[in-house]
């Protein structure tokens, strides 16, 4: 190849490389300009508020860290935003005047994890026994514990019903009576376990009497409020209905008593203001469902680590608050 040909090819290559870079820079500039317009002028406060309604707590926290504009928008609607999220995920009605923040949400998340850890620790012997039995016996007939097959969106309602039906929460649903005999024969578990065979021709047909919607303080029947965890829908109209029976949920005990006085008979009721500490066992929740495929030891470790992480987050958030005040 001659020197002139080599120089010609080299110059052509340099030109193409330079041109390619110009195009790339032009594309990037257009990208940044468009993003800047959307973040600056194209996205109104009203549109930002609508978009935020579709995000969960973790997404909102990540979005808040992307740029100053989003941070300002989120802080401007802080109380209303976290009020909605707390109601959605914890079923708690906090007034905007209470000024709930991300800190409120994290503290509730930590409390949810503490409750779940108490539940798991209370049933560690039973969970361990079933885990070991399922590992050694493929045809084991074990379906689930009653506390794991349904949940309630409102945690206050869930706790009230758990206290009322505390004896039923650790009941174990199995396929047949023979499944119970087989477990008792082959399992190493020592202790009392109540079983409910699904193969039961005598499931009672329970009807829930109609209640006037205007009845003061009446929320609904517990059965109607229960959400069946995925995979256990076939247990709704037999096991769940039989165990929850016709329990009625009221906002206050006074409302429940007034209703019973009006109909002249006693019916099973729970009220959100019923006194007493929460029962150690609880119904299923999103945290338990996320961990359902982990072994017991892994679940316990995850929950403990989760509680510790929340503790660190709470400490950091409180420290930032104090720094801001100063």
For the sheet containing 172-174, what is the strand order? 142-145, 172-174, 195-197
Domain co-membership, 27 together with 131: no
Domain co-membership, 254 together with 149: yes
Q: How far apart are CA 150 and CA 189, in angstroms?
A: 25
Provide the 3-class DSSP secondary structure of residue 237: helix
Domain co-membership, 24 together with 149: no
Mean pLDDT in the chain? 83
Task: Label residue 22 by pLDDT band (50, 70, 90).
Answer: very low
Domain co-membership, 142 together with 19: no
**Residue 218 domain-assigned (yes or no):** yes
Q: Which range among 37-41, 148-152, 208-212 shows the weakest confidence by mean pLDDT?
A: 37-41
* Kind plus residue range of the DSSP H or E element containing 151: strand 150-151
Tell whether the model's pLDDT for residue 310 goes beyond 80. yes
Q: How far is CA 231 from CA 38, 160, 196, in A?
A: 43, 25, 18
**Residue 114 domain-assigned (yes or no):** no
**Residue 161 domain-assigned (yes or no):** yes
**Residue 221 domain-assigned (yes or no):** yes
Give the closest residue to 244 by CA, choosing from 156, 160, 168, 172: 168
Q: How far apart are CA 269 and CA 284, in angstroms?
A: 21
**Residue 48 domain-assigned (yes or no):** no
218-276 pLDDT, tens per residue?
999 999 999 999 999 999 988 999 999 999 999 999 999 999 999 999 999 999 998 87
**Residue 324 domain-assigned (yes or no):** no
* Cβ count near 227 (within 10 Å): 12
pLDDT at 28: 47
pTM to 2 decimals?
Answer: 0.77
Query: What is the tally of structural domains in the chain?
Result: 2
**Residue 22 domain-assigned (yes or no):** yes
Domain co-membership, 37 together with 127: no
Domain co-membership, 15 together with 155: no
Tell whether the model's pLDDT for residue 18 goes beyond 70. no
Tell whether the model's pLDDT for residue 294 goes beyond 50. yes
Q: Which range among 82-86, 158-162, 170-174 shows the weakest confidence by mean pLDDT?
A: 82-86
Q: Which domain holds residue 182?
A: 123-292
């Amino acid at each position: 190849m001659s020197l002139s040909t080599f120089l010609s090819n080299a110059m052509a290559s340099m030109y193409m490389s330079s041109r390619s870079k110009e195009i790339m820079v032009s594309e990037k500039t257009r990208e940044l300009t468009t993003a800047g317009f959307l973040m600056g002028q194209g996205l109104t406060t009203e549109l930002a508020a609508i978009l935020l309604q579709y995000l969960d707590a973790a997404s909102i926290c990540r979005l808040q860290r992307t740029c100053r504009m989003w941070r300002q928008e989120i802080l401007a609607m802080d109380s209303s935003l976290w009020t909605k999220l707390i109601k959605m995920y914890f079923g708690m009605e906090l007034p905007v005047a209470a000024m709930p923040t991300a800190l409120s949400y994290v503290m509730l998340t930590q409390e949810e994890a503490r409750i779940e850890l108490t539940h798991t620790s209370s049933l560690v012997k039973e969970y361990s026994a079933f885990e070991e039995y399922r590992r050694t016996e493929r045809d084991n007939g074990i379906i689930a514990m009653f506390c794991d097959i349904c949940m309630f969106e409102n945690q206050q309602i869930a706790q009230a019903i758990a206290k009322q039906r505390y004896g039923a929460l650790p009941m174990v649903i199995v396929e047949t009576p023979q499944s119970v005999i087989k477990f008792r024969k082959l399992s190493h578990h020592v202790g009392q376990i109540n079983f409910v065979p699904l193969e039961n021709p005598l499931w009672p047909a329970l009807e829930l009497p109609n209640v006037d919607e205007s009845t003061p303080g009446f929320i609904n029947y517990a059965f109607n409020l229960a959400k069946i965890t995925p995979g256990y829908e076939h247990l709704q109209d037999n096991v769940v209905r039989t165990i929850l029976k016709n329990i009625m949920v009221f906002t206050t005990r006074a409302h429940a008593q007034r209703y019973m006085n009006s109909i002249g008979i006693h019916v099973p009721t729970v009220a959100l203001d019923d006194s007493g500490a929460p029962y150690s066992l609880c119904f299923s929740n999103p945290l338990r469902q996320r961990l359902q495929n982990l072994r017991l030891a892994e679940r316990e470790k995850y929950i403990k680590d989760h509680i510790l992480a929340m503790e660190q987050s709470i400490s950091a958030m409180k420290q930032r608050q104090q720094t801001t005040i100063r």
